[in-house]
Chain A
Amino acid sequence: MASSIARGGEDEGEDEEFEGFDDFTIASSWERFISEIEAVCRLWLFDGPKNLVDKGAECLDHPKNLYKVKSELKYGGKDYCLEFYFMINIDGQATEWDDNLHNIQQSFGVNEFLVIAPLSASGVVLDSPESSKLLSSVAIALSNCGSNWPAFVPVHDPSRKAYIGIQSTGTIFTRRFDADRIGSQVPVRLMHMEGLYELFVAKFASFDYPMNYSKVSFGMKLTYRTPPFDDDEEDVLENMEAEVKESEEGNDGYDHIKVQWDDDCPWAEWYSADDPIKGFELITIWPRNTCESSMEMAELENASSFDAEKWSLYPLISPNMIDDSAGKFIGFASQLRLLVGALDRSFDAKFLEDFVSAENIGSDNSNPAVVIPPPTVRDRVLKELFHDGAQISSSLDLENKNSRAIKGTPLESLFAQFCLQSLWFGNCNVRAIATLWIEFVREVRWCWEESQPLPRMPSDLDIDLSSCLIHQKLHLLAICIKKKNLLNHENHTSVEITGQSSDEKGLAEFDRNEILDLPQDESMVDEFDSDSPDSEGTTGNLAVDTEFAVASPDVQKSCPIRKGSAGIVGNMMLLHSFQKMHAPYTQDAPVMTEDMHEERLHAAEVCGDAFSTSGQLEREILSSDMSAFKAANPDAVFEDFIRWHSPGDWESEEIEDRSTGNKEDPDQCNWPPRGKLSQRMSEHGNSWRKIWNDSPALPASEQKPLFDPIREGEKVLHYLETLQPHHLLEQMVCTAFKVSADTLNQTSFGNLQLMKTKLNQLYITLASSLRPLRANRTHDKYELIGDLRRLCLVFENIEKLLIFASSLHRKLRDAPRLTEAIFNDYFNYYLPKMGNSSASICFDKKFSNKQQVNMLERDVVANLFPPPTANQSWRKVLSMGNLLNGHEPILREIIFSVAHRVGDCHYGSNIPWTHTEEIETHRMYIRGTSNDLQGCVRMWKSQMLIASICFEQAYSSDHLLFQKQFH
């Protein structure tokens, strides 16, 4: 094949030279061209669609299922390209308004077709004789091989999208195709249905075939576009490569809407996302109808869009949504990527200060990668962190159930906010973070020194060991500050607190309530009344007693040496002294962070099994409790303590002694209580008794504290101040991922199950991917950073998807079914990218899935088209009719056709497009707006002598006629 083309080329060269000299050569050149076309077509015919696909036919992305093969040919010193478009698996006739049609298919109502075009920049034949000749060549070739494929040649200026075409039908008729376009200044007549109808009627009336006027049938498709949520990009329309020059109203209200759209979204605090949905296009399809007069058509222009048979909607997606080249999308994901970069750098130095000092890396502040934001920015961030924050409420309900599996901190907490601020501090480089951290720690130390409560810290005393270590440390510090304040408070006031001492700070009130743990004390009062037998584990406090001291002054007077009593325990009497048992105030168990626990467990593990002396801390607590008990009950014995502390180990011999005892008069109790210690408690060498014997009588307030807030507080600050860069960054990365996800998780997107699933999956992925960071083991840094970068991509995909979901939800809030359907379509379109986090998949095809709108949802969709404001309407010249809420369609497509009864003898057996006797003899497809109109005509003509000059002339006159009517 190739050689024959080459030979043809040489011949052509000769032909040119001797043109007009030897017509014999000219004829043979054209014939050779025809035979070349014929050879190619025969090959294609022979192969059939299936084989052509197997042989590597190019699949066109947009019209699904459409394939293309091509062959290059030479003729007359020019290169031509012959292309054959075909579909496989055609299930029946494509519907009239199928979205998946090539524009030639749509325009002319054909399935497979040939296109021959010169290989030039414009790809069209500008010269009329040349186009006719080309078409004739193809037609002859096709006829020679008995094919009915329609063939097209692009003509005129490319912007006109003009084609001429021909198809043999195997009958005496030949189909002719003709398309042209008016790119500007469409005559008013052709803007209206009436005019278009008349154009069609005039068109076929001029031909040789008798027509039945009453049978003009038409179908209509109107496309509306919502007023711009955003700027108008060109080529938003399917199948239309025409540049639709948007009218100047594009910028109207554009800034306003764009700034506003995500204002109340949870991420808006940190960044503003481009609205991923630029608008919607609504396609209304009208049922096929027949029309008898142009009046009818004119009336149709006033018909409501609600009369259309079918509505379908699809969103116009912002190109940013699918372009994932770095830097295109600014969101949490982009900042997290920077943070991971900072983590990578953080291994370079041992101390955070190294990153800040001038002589170190990046001493020139000009390098944008290491620029540190100016102090004013830093101060603003610190002010927001420390002064604008309140105590956090435990708003666990906002968190995803999988969120706790990530070692981070609650969203509102100080360190979480520090991490979020860091993400947006400068460009989140390691130097900027180091600067911010050093100032952050300085501020924390100031709070400590000045005994100011740490902001944004949980108010409870239980450190959440599942949070990240820095958060635990800060929490511990917050507790230390409270306890320190309390100590100071005590020193200032007398030991005998009246309970009404005025609070210098609101804090003191808060603390005292908390430390006294009032609810528990109240429950103890209940126990007095009800004589509940179970008063084990009264955990009082280091705090000096207030209420009970007041409540039972007589007791205190009668026992001057009694100290640190939190009140009597039910009706329990001491064994060896006729006195009520008093529960002591005891010290709080020390508050510990994860690392302290681990140290302790490790110690227990090392010596525990071997020496059974585990639980050193618990021993100290027990000893402290015993001392406090002794102080509160000076005459108590070991058994008394056990009765209070571990009632299970006291085997009482009294039957219901507590209930038979007279509640009002404790003197009536059977005294002394009879019973004995349990076997295990009374054994010789019992370690409890040993501790009891070793414990001095000391009230909790006078004991060596189990927990030294000053020491622990300083230790926390030491930890914060000497934290190694990579330890800081590791925890920041974990926390930042978690709180970014938590922030996004608050987005409302309705009931989109897929989105929920994806978010849950994100959390699970985060938890498992971040797990290596949580164990303090030395990891392969490169592998780790690589994994984290991939995680950023995963995050970005979910983030974008979520923004899309949110945008979609707020626009179609009242049509949940439609929202979900559109989202699911988009999700499936987006899915290939999400599965593949490492490579960026190029989206060749545009998202164009259309969702049919239910009757019930039409109102919601119509609301997407707010009636234009006065401002908009005066600028817009409404010219087409078929208004939807005052918006005219951006595109009107009409197919006119006339069917005619054709005798059986007229056509052969192999006509694919008709099975009835009614044959669509004339068809005109019109697509256009008020300033752009494209018309495509298909008509039947009596068989003529193909491959003759007559044909050419007839054809071109035909064409002129059409053009005349257009202009």
Chain B
Amino acid sequence: MATSDKIGAVMVVGGGISGLQSALDLADSGFKVYLVEKQPSIGGTMAQLDKTFPTNDCAMCIMAPKLVATGRHHNIELITNADIAKVDGQEGNFTVTGTQRALRVDASKCTGCGSCAQKCPIETTDEYNENTKVRKAIFVKYPQAVPLVYSIDQEKCIGCGICAEECKAEAVEYDQKESGFEIKVGSIIVSPGFDEFDARLKAEYGYGVYQNVVSSIEFERILSATGPYFGTVMRPSDGDIPEKIAFIQCVGSRDEKVGNEYCSGVCCMYSIKEAIIAKEHGGNIKPKIFFMDMRAFGKEFEEYYNRAQNEYGIEFVRSRIASVFEDPKTKNLVVKYVEKGEPKEEEFGLVVLAVGLTPPEDAETLSKVMKFGLNDDGFCQTGAFTPVSTSRPGVFVSGAFSSPKDIPMTVAEASGAAAKAASAIASARGTLVTKKEYPAEIDVSEQEARIGVFVCHCGINIGGVVKVPSVAEYARSLPNVVYAEENLYTCSQDTQEKIKQMVKEHNLNRVVVASCTPRTHEPLFQNTIKEAGLNPYLFEMANIRDQCSWIHLHEAAAATKKAKDLVRMAVAKSRLLESLENLTIDVNQQALVVGGGASGMVAALELAKQGVKVHLVEKEKELGGNLLKLHYLPSGDDPVEYVQSLSKEVASNQNITVYTGKKVKSIDGYVGNFKTTLESGEEIEHGTVILAVGAQEYKPEGEFLYGKNPGVMTLLEFKDKLKKGEVKGNTHAFIQCVGSREEGHPNCSRVCCTGTMTAAIKVKEKNPDAKVFVLYRDIRTYGFREKYYKDAAEKGVTFIRFDDGTKPTVEDKGGKIEVRVTDEDTGKEVLLTPDNLVLATGTRPSEGSEELAPMLKVPITKEGFFLEAHMKLRPVDFATEGVYVAGLAHGPKFLDESIGQGLAAVARAMTVLSKETLEAEGIVASLDETLCDGCGICVPTCEYKALEIVPDKKDEEKKTLDINIGLCKGCGACVGSCPSGALTQMGFSDEQIVAMIDAALEETVKNQEVKQ
């Protein structure tokens, strides 16, 4: 296809956390995005979660900024409440048609104030709260929903007309019809997420029959402060706080009977999280988790599991639950199980079923409409080397739709899919994005403040409590206020025009809006005054709705007084506001990739495909990394062949300069402007850095006779022998978790269980009579990898579980290996005399990570892996902008996951490299050099390493502070620490905040003066 045919737009299907990430990455790197969501609001499953593991972050807190950014992005168009009917065309040029179901509310008029729902007489079950709560027939999915537009549930609405009457914005349209849409896009990303397993299909647990048996997602809502019981852990039958809670794992996962043989990958961790949070909510709650294998395989997950046991006292019982019965009198539940061969019964107040992840309901429809393949389990089919590609070129996939996975892997894949989607249409970058033109800015620096105040009624949301006319009148009386008015809705489109008109008419040079919260509405008003020729930072808001009328509903006089105070405070700050300039930073559009393993090469190639000049530095003489030693993949694909083809592609790519056998000596600079020197002297200038330095297999010198008996070897060494046909003997024993999940290395190495299955299956395939023993603690073959565990067991591999505290012992009896292990199931000691003892050893960070980290001012974990900016939502970013991590350098992971992260790092890097200049935040720290004495107290307060003490250029004797605006995030922590008042936070200066304090207490001061 000719370049000119390509369309610089991407359709993302599904607005969960995956779709949000893909959309933001693409829109930030020069592509138009259509985000198509079947529900009226975006947010997906993550928006329903209370907390996230392993950091216990509040899900909504960390997600809301991404929701808002997506809703506001001028290059992202949301198409909600929509279904896709047809996808024609091919990679680079698709035509998509579909329908948007009627909301019965005019989205352009609805302000999201919620008056309609307050008065709607119809209550129905609330899907967002998993039916644990009620909502009205006119509703919004959740308070922070984007877009914040109400819609009418057609099935429940009785057409009484109350909402239409109540809506002062006249947004209700009962007769609204569905509408069709047609869009043209170059690439497509599908991320429809997953559905929860319907626990009714496991009738033996009584879900849907016994009131106090709930699913894990229902329990998530019960835990939530916005849930049915406002965060108090109560049981549905009687509102009692349950003393004992049972969590039953693998409901609908690892279960042939229900047809789901795969492991859902996330349930072990979310159950631990829910147990911990329940315990935090009520100290007397005693959670007990019934599980088969505890699969805490992710980064720092094992430590979380350990804390749950040791600090929170959560009990773990290894048993598959046979059945649950209700005591009809107490509504308590009797759980029957077998522990260490003994049948037991125990009573609980509440039972939580850890339901598995299933393909989304519309998986088949999507696959038919879009013409891509599904796998045997009904998820989207992907390949071992192509984790984010579907079977149809130009259509990519991310998130739980391709296999059950947790949020960080989902977010990484979402960025990865964005990179692939962008590469396919790289030549059309920038062709469909718009850049808004604004009038020239009026210089107000010499003008006295002329403030305009706009006070909002918000229908009756404010006006029903606060006397808005008197607030507007009061505003008029304040110094420097030259104009004030009241509006029915200050945020409506006609008011924006009015504001612009008033700025002109009255020569306003500051604008104050008294309405709702700046968190959602400040950008709208800032944009309005920008259109009127004012600097956007000359705007201030008074929150007289969320933080006044809504929380003092029955105190009209006090609320009105408070609203006046808030307006006075905003005006006081407004008087001192200054125009701020968003500084621009020039960007060097070349990239540095450190590490030439799979993830590094994947990243380099993908960057090169998008036209970026890449410098790839590898310390070894040959590209390839760990894959050269892996030999086998469980899927049967050949990793060596793959890595060799990558190496060839890299070597022949015009855009990539390869530096093999070379190490980085130093890296200086900041986003857009890095300068790297290699030990061999070469200097490279670049705008971003991707760290893909890999990791290594632990060599357990001295453990289990390793290095002493030639029959004892690591897993990679065994695979190497297997490949070369050098394995002797017919009996092989594997010991798992060598150098993982123990003191000093508390976390799981993630890949060793599956690696062992791969080797064991290979051995049995070569010689079905071979005897293979696997000594393990938990088998962690998560996701679809479960099938390799099953395959190994079916091929006759013997699995022996040993207790976490009792390692097997190994002795050398005249050259023969003797292994003794206590089988936890039988309690008996087993003696094995294998020809080969294979140690599945842990993953250790690469040598050199520790030297690289300080060069880039990025952190590493105590185990030595690079620590990303946020464990959930920024899996390949660092707090330091322009620096990214991928692959094993971030922690142990499989090849497909490393490839996904390599691609993700590309999408993140392209948000920088696709631009010639970057705009720095206007709200940053600034220094008055005449006041700074170079004491350096502020330096450690900066989490972004933006501050440095340097010699004063004017006076060699003195020292002063240097602020790197490229690194500053504008938190103001340094400003608060400065003892000499030399630092200022633009937009939140000492003067401005003090003016607000004084204004808030103005009358108090007056009283005091009277007294004196």
A and B physically associate: no
